[in-house]
Chain A
Amino acid sequence: MKKLHEQPSQAMPGPPPLPGWIARAAAEPLDAAAFRSGAALAHLALVAAADVPLPLWRDRLALAAAETCAAMAGRREGQGALRDALHLTRAGDDPGPAGRVLRQWSRAVARPVSVAGLGRVLEGIAPEQIGLCLDAAGPTPVDRAAAVIEAVLADVPRAETAALILADAVLARGWGQDHAVPLLSLAIKPRDLRLRGDDLRLACHRAVAAGAAQAVSLATELSRAAARLRVVTPKLRAGGAGRAVDLFLSREALTPGALDFMSDRAARRLCDRLVNLGAVRELTGRETFRLYGL
């Protein structure tokens, strides 16, 4: 994940970064790994409770998780191609194999975790199985997430995306979130998913600590970006600008067409103005079919 440090942190205080002692803590054996992932989650929970645009943060993390999952399914699309597949697919068309992975992730993080909600998102996984996963037992949230991965893959060996969405949903509930937050999925390796028992639990603890570090730095970046956006919001006179700002604070990328409460022309002008004000970035580098986001 790209880190943006163009602003000195004292100028715009954001959530504190992950303390170095957590990143440096031992990742083995199992009890040390569990201590480290627990410390990382405790810090992350504080960060998430601070002024972070949570829906946007989850949506951007979902993009990173989708990239990992698409790679596990043998797809080589990077984040840009995944975004394009999702945003350039019109209603009734099929986003293709990689786009479907991103669509699953962004739908999964958009609503609070529930059996019915995840059932609609995860094709090929029975609601009964989802219910069992959400009630998984284990001494820590990370162990429960590992149990979920093991159970889902035992049932459907190639359902890595579904297994990881469910694992991160179970994990998120364990550290006090009601929405799934991609963490484990950011840093788990394809070969980790072939592990079982304690080996898998160890790999999950390691992935959670690494994923939490990424999530903390993204939270810092996004809360600064959100602060910049809020500063310029009063300068926007276009009708519907307030709703547009709300959308930018909840979705990681938008086509001007997604601002469907404004005319096409007004939406384009607003996006360009936000880019000029330094509050929003154009994400594709293209002249046409542009996508905007914080």
Chain B
Amino acid sequence: MRRIEAVLFASATPVARDDLARIVGQGASVDLLIEDLAADLEGRPYEVAQVGAGWMLRTRSAYAPAIRAAADVGAQALNLTEFDLAVLAAIAFHQPISRDGLKEIFGKEISRDLIGRLADRDLIGTGPREPRRGAPYTFVTMDTFLAVFGMESLRDLPDPEQLADAGLAGPSEALDI
């Protein structure tokens, strides 16, 4: 259990079950050890969180204001512009989607630089090719995307129809899947 804690502590990204299984040795159950670790961390300001198919250690969200006020987390921040985030959201809702698909949503060309910024941060990766001339890449979100935005799976994304109903999203084409 301490080994798992050490590995999760040292890793900035979620660690997959297989990687954990290698360090706990034969016959030991990763899940039971994770459960033990979670129980052990009860009352601590950080927790084990399942993200996609792996786990990571992260501070509990209740401490977010304290961390933001006191620590310099600027270096860890995503450093993305509002438009970058809008494109990321469009990819999350419409994946797999190509740059041409994004262009249709935003009404303008999405630069390779922007896609590169999202890919460099492991937020998106390349998905299936589109079945047309040139076989363009599509983009899909990666587990890091879930981790950064505190989601366990893509089903935690807000429902586009509900957003529209609540008036949070206009009847814009951006959310019209």
Contact = CB atoms under 8 A, between A and B. Distances in A.
Contacts of A88: 128-131, 135
Interface residues of A, number: 25
Interface string B23-41: 0000001111000000000
Interface stretch (A46-54, A90-98, A105-113, A140-148): A90-98
A289 B127 contact: no
Interface string B100-125: 00000000000000000000000001
B131 A126 contact: no
Given A288-B132, A289-B132, A85 B155 contact: no
Interface residues of B, number: 30
A124 B129 contact: no
Contacts of B96: 85, 96, 99
Given A73-B155, A289-B132, A93 B126 contact: yes
A93 B53 contact: no
Given A85-B96, A126-B17, A128-B31, A94 B53 contact: no
B30 A93 contact: no
A229 to B, nearest CB: 25
B155 A74 contact: yes
What is the predominant secondary structure among interface residues of chain A facing chain B?
loop
A76 interface: yes
Interface string B132-171: 1101011010100000000011110001000000000000
A169 B169 CA distance: 43
B131 A93 contact: no
14 contacts: A73-B155, A89-B129, A93-B125, A93-B127, A94-B126, A95-B127, A97-B154, A124-B17, A124-B50, A124-B53, A129-B31, A158-B152, A158-B153, A289-B135
Interface of B: 17, 29-32, 50, 52-53, 95-96, 125-133, 135, 137-138, 140, 142, 152-155, 159, 177
Top 5 nearest A-B pairs (CB, nearest first) are A289-B131, A123-B53, A96-B96, A89-B128, A88-B128
Interface of A: 73-74, 76, 84-86, 88-90, 93-97, 99, 123-124, 126, 128-129, 158, 284, 286, 288-289
